[in-house]
Structure 1
Amino acid sequence: MEFLTSYDGTTLAFRTLGDGPPLLCLPGGPGRAAEYLGDLGGLSATRTLILPDTRGTGGSAMPADLATCRVDRLVADVEALRHHLGLDRVDLLGHSAGGSLAMLYAAAHADRLTSLTLVTPSFAAVGLPSDTGAEEVIAARAAEPWHAQAVAAYGHMKTAHTFAAAEPYRFAFEPLMYGRWDNAARAHAAADPVQRALPVSEHYYKDYTPDSEELRRRLDALPCPVLLLAGEMDLWPTAKSAADAASLFPDVTLAVQPAAGHYPWLDDPDVFTTTVEGFLSGVS
């Protein structure tokens, strides 16, 4: 684990994994330590993954002011890490809520990006829905033995007003977030409570209102290529929401991974790494 001091004195932790050109990977949750990303299905074989823990999570210190955990204010931490690493420009990857942060970073620091990879990203930061057609995706899995229990938990998750209120239902809901509810998926989901800092989760979007028009204007002018990778069976975002959001970017590759959920590197590592590495290797 390595450390840096961000703009307000908060100590941030990150680790590096693998070999090859650097790829800065922003975790989601929101509020989940980067440990859950693992080696991104073996992507570390061709890339040096830089895996920061969002402030208040994992090895990073909890800030004195929790309002600094809001997604738009976290942009400054990403920029502090880029500067600390001595990278003039970066290949940036964001997963889930980290995708929202990656889009905000791109809008603010377009000149610092070589490429942008969005893996099953949330579109909350840019004011777009992520769940278009979710009920159809859920219905398509009705034959699964866990389906009734997961759907009941999904109902509770949707009506919970806080992450803490949703927490008791999270594990029962989790099968809907994976393409395969096997032992690896169960272990991955079971680690969530240990890896998640609920105060960070609660403050990630608290009091945040996107300037959607300005963000869309900036993203529409983004000079770097974008990979938008969705899972065919994901709920947040659905493949349909991802397809709708692709119009945000002028140079975008939309990839929908078959039979994949919210964590596509677990559902089919080979397809995932081939897609991401194929995109990155084509970026000049």
Structure 2
Amino acid sequence: MIADLDAVRRRYGLARVSLLGHSWGATLALRYAVAHPDRVEKLVYVSGTGLDEGWEEEFRANFTARLGDEWERWRELRSRRRTEDEERELAVLQWSADFADRSKARGYAERMANPWFEINYECNAVLGKETWPSAFTECRQLEVPTLIIDGAQDLRPRWSVDSLFETLPSAKRVVLEDAGHIPWLEVPDEFEAAVGAFLDPA
């Protein structure tokens, strides 16, 4: 996937690019910058999981608590074969947990599922098992200016993201208090202002 990103850069004849990645995409953008620091002007790391391992257990506990009454329905769907409509329902339930404002969470998740594209769980599982043993060493050497931006109410523990901020030599951190995992939907003005000021400070 790093090679795919570089192919896009070459296709448009760009010597350097600014990259923005969200969630797992934040990790991909970071790894591209580590692999090709001379080709990245700026990096925006949105709602990633940082460098510290072991965050999954806390995430699962937060996820269960955030779903509340819908947890049993999610667990029941997750445990069996599903129709296409049920597959979409499962995704909407899961994605709704990523929003801090519970009164709007279902609506945001429905928007994300329209149009509906089938989820490749096999690919997801493979990517989830990937490790990066040299992450701390490589990130300490990355001089690319980086904005780490996330929501304070993201289910993924922020202490893991703190590890990345403390490791990168040229990083700025913005935490949006009223947002979860997808801040540009919940606090679009704050998100746009932070990213815009970083990419174009003039």
Q: Which of 96, 102, 111 lines up with 2:29 in the alignment? A: 102
| Unaligned stretches of 5+ residues in structure 1 | 1-73
| 2:68 aligned with 1:147 | yes
C-alpha change, 1:252 and 1:260, in structure 2 (3 Å) is same
Return the alpha-carbon distance in structure 2 between the equivalents of residues 245 and 91 of structure 1: 19
**Contact 1:220/1:248 (<8 A) preserved:** yes
| 2:185 aligned with 1:266 | yes
Which residue does the alignment assign to 2:40? 113
C-alpha change, 1:269 and 1:280, in structure 2 (3 Å) is same
Return the alpha-carbon distance in structure 1 between the equivalents of residues 57 and 30 of structure 2: 20
**Contact 1:75/1:101 (<8 A) preserved:** yes
Which residue does the alignment assign to 1:216? 136
TM-score (norm 1): 0.58
Which residue does the alignment assign to 2:198? 279
C-alpha change, 1:264 and 1:188, in structure 2 (3 Å) is same
Larger helix proportion of the pair: 2
Q: Which of 7, 12, 17 lines up with 1:90 in the alignment? A: 17
Return the alpha-carbon distance in structure 1 between the equivalents of residues 27 and 79 of structure 2: 22
TM-score (norm 2): 0.78
Q: Deviations over 1:166-216 (max 9, x none)?
A: 865332333321122455x534422427443423x5225527633422x33
% identical aligned pairs: 26
Q: How many aligned positions are there?
A: 195
Return the alpha-carbon distance in structure 1 between the equivalents of residues 108 and 12 of structure 2: 29
Which residue does the alignment assign to 1:203? 123
C-alpha change, 1:269 and 1:168, in structure 2 (3 Å) is closer
| Unaligned stretches of 5+ residues in structure 2 | none
Offset, 1:282: 3.8
Within-5 A mapping of 1:180-259: 180-182=101-103, 185-190=105-110, 191-192=112-113, 194-199=115-120, 201-204=121-124, 206=126, 209-213=130-134, 215-235=135-155, 237-259=156-178
Q: Which of 104, 128, 143 lines up with 2:53 in the alignment? A: 128
Q: Secondary structure at the match of 1:261?
A: coil
Q: Secondary structure at the match of 1:256?
A: strand
C-alpha change, 1:220 and 1:189, in structure 2 (3 Å) is same
Using CA pairs under 8 Å that are at least 6 residues apart, name the structure with larger relative contact order, 1 or 2.
2
C-alpha change, 1:168 and 1:186, in structure 2 (3 Å) is closer
Q: Root-mean-square deviation (CA), in Å?
A: 3.3
Which residue does the alignment assign to 1:169? 90
